[in-house]
Structure 1
Amino acid sequence: MRKMTILGTGFAMATRCFNTCFFLELEDGSFFLTDAGGGNGILRQLEQTDFRWEDCHHMFVTHGHTDHVLGAIWVIRKIADQMNKGKYDGVFHIYCHDVVRDMLLAMTRMTLKKKDFAHVGQDILLHELKDGECADLPQFRLTAFDIRSTKAKQFGYLLEFDDGTRFTCLGDEPFNERNRPYAENADWLLAEAFCRYEDREIFHPYEKNHSTVREASELAEQLGVKNLVLYHTEDRHLAARKREYTNEARQYYHGTVYVPDDLESIAF
């Protein structure tokens, strides 16, 4: 059985939950990490799960905003430290576009100890992917795609498993129709939903280039996806978020909807 653990569900400035990031635990016991939040809180989040550093050899970083990329520096530092202590075997691979690659190289060069930075390019490898480019990992084929952000360059991805399961991460901005081939008929679709539609005048999602629950749900219905995961939300309704977001989503989407809390796991 595969499992997805959502490490954080909040937007960039969230203080009541962690920034949006997650990992997959795969059938062979390995882990695949996506983004890492905005700081060393990623270490605390991972510590509260069944994540094992020694079994994580692949990571994807969607874009260079602070709430996604800065935690990746801490992941790299932790992996390098594990390598220095003889607790990590093999290579750690990070997949990203060129802008994120350059950011990670610059920041690790400036902030890591020499003995830690020595692993970057040696056994911590940054793989630049271009729009539509594939990478074959042990458990799935990854296809990266440009979400056509109007802000910072950002990639999402499609994972295709041997059993035919299609798992699509759309990033944290509204869907671009040019990416329909990567999301249509997906078994799992991970989409941002900044707030409820009725709260749009309070949280101003459109000004931030985000969607509401309604729009994310209408999209999932149009794309014919089976399971919809909503995250990257405002953080003022956490106690009622699961119930309220789910109720709104079910008005527009007839598949299975998940509105996870931080550290919640979902089998898939």
Structure 2
Amino acid sequence: MKLTILGTGNAKVTKCYNTCFTLNEEDEKEYFLVDGGGGSTILKQLEDAGISWKDIHTIFVTHKHIDHLLGIIWMLRMYCQGMARGQFDEEVRIYAHDEVIRLLRQMSEMLLTPKETAFIGEKVYLIEVKDGEEKSILGHKTTFFDIRSTKAKQYGFCMEYADGKKLTCCGDEPYNECEEKYAVNSTWLLHEAFCLYSQADKFKPYEKHHSTVKDACELAQKLGTENLILYHTEDKNISRRKELYTAEGKPYYNGNLLIPDDLETIEL
């Protein structure tokens, strides 16, 4: 399995793209996209990563914040416009909880043409998932779960991608104990780290209900995580982000700590 990080930043970054990523089996051209970032830059990130939007047939949207949702509208436009022009004929499934599905329907009706929206429900399926519901994604058991966000309803997911191996995405908020059965002993854990703990006074992560590098690393150590990926960060330290975040995190976490840049691919 390969994970391609399309964006690593929080909502207000300008030096990188908002957090979103793809998963695919090595040597397979079918991709699973998680979130879309905040705009049409999703198309550039996919292009720069060498991924055709036509090869993405499954999408999961974690929540309704604009830095995760608006890129999906562009993906919907590409799918529906491609179908209307006879240039794309694959079925597409977009999974999300009820609030996001409702927003995507409403925004599509308001922003896309009737010729385009005609394909929603016919070839492009907006599918509501509930807390604890299982789906097969890329042929692997994937469980969606409510992270009990205090800001906007948000889901994460856990994918069992090989024998005894699982990848858990906790969304973009601090870990909640309700996620333990999914996150514990993860082979790979994706967790937000808004900033360095040493710079918490500057970036004020706790006021925004986010974590620091130290917090995320302490959590991963407690959960028995083999590999930890930190994302959804600030971008003021981006030229030294890997170095600084690694230095702060290592004393608190004994596993494999990764702080990826945009467009970085990780072999799972």
TM range (shorter): over 0.9
Task: Tell me the secondary structure at the aligned position of residue 251 of structure 2.
Answer: coil
Q: Does 1:192 align with 2:189?
A: no
Aligned to 1:21: 20
Aligned to 2:50: 50
Amino acid across the alignment from 1:45: Q
Aligned to 1:257: 257
Amino acid across the alignment from 1:234: E
Cα distance change, pair 64–84 in 1 and its aligned pair in 2 (3 A): same
Which deviates further from its counterpart, 111-120 or 78-87?
Answer: 78-87
Aligned to 1:96: 96
State how far apart, in whole Å, the 2-side matches of 1:87 and 1:133 are. Answer: 33
State how far apart, in whole Å, the 2-side matches of 1:187 and 1:162 are. Answer: 10
Q: CA deviation at 1:162?
A: 4.0
Task: Tell me the secondary structure at the aligned position of residue 218 of structure 2.
Answer: helix
Q: CA deviation at 1:139?
A: 2.2
Task: Tell me the secondary structure at the aligned position of residue 143 of structure 1.
Answer: strand
Which deviates further from its counterpart, 236-245 or 77-86?
Answer: 77-86
Task: Tell me the secondary structure at the aligned position of residue 87 of structure 2.
Answer: coil
Tell me, yes or no, if the aligned pair for 1:77 and 1:112 is still in contact at 8 Å.
yes
Tell me, yes or no, if the aligned pair for 2:32 and 2:137 is still in contact at 8 Å.
no
Taking the TM superposition and a 5 Å limit, the aligned residue runs for 1:1-268 are 2-27=1-26, 28-268=28-268
Deviation per CA, 1:174-210: give whole Å up to 9, x if none: 0001110000011100000000000000000000000
Amino acid across the alignment from 2:153: K
Task: Tell me the secondary structure at the aligned position of residue 252 of structure 2.
Answer: coil
Cα distance change, pair 55–164 in 1 and its aligned pair in 2 (3 A): farther
Aligned length: 267
State how far apart, in whole Å, the 1-side matches of 2:164 and 2:154 are. Answer: 26
Deviation per CA, 1:126-179: give whole Å up to 9, x if none: 110111111123421110010110000000000112433200000000000111
Which deviates further from its counterpart, 86-95 or 54-63?
Answer: 86-95
Q: CA deviation at 1:211?
A: 0.2
Task: Tell me the secondary structure at the aligned position of residue 207 of structure 1.
Answer: helix
Which deviates further from its counterpart, 128-137 or 229-238?
Answer: 128-137
Tell me, yes or no, if the aligned pair for 1:54 and 1:87 is still in contact at 8 Å.
no
Tell me, yes or no, if the aligned pair for 2:190 and 2:228 is still in contact at 8 Å.
yes
State how far apart, in whole Å, the 2-side matches of 1:15 and 1:49 are. Answer: 19
Tell me, yes or no, if the aligned pair for 1:17 and 1:262 is still in contact at 8 Å.
yes
Tell me, yes or no, if the aligned pair for 2:147 and 2:170 is still in contact at 8 Å.
yes
| Identity over aligned pairs, percent | 50
RMSD: 1.1
Contiguous gaps of at least 5 residues in structure 1: none
Q: TM-score, normalised by structure 2?
A: 0.97
Task: Tell me the secondary structure at the aligned position of residue 145 of structure 2.
Answer: strand
Q: CA deviation at 1:29?
A: 2.5
State how far apart, in whole Å, the 1-side matches of 2:114 and 2:164 are. Answer: 43
State how far apart, in whole Å, the 1-side matches of 2:128 and 2:38 are. Answer: 21
Cα distance change, pair 125–203 in 1 and its aligned pair in 2 (3 A): same
Task: Tell me the secondary structure at the aligned position of residue 219 of structure 2.
Answer: helix
Moved over 4 A (4+): none
Contiguous gaps of at least 5 residues in structure 2: none
Q: CA deviation at 1:84?
A: 2.6
Amino acid across the alignment from 1:60: F
Deviation per CA, 1:68-93: give whole Å up to 9, x if none: 00110001111112223333232100
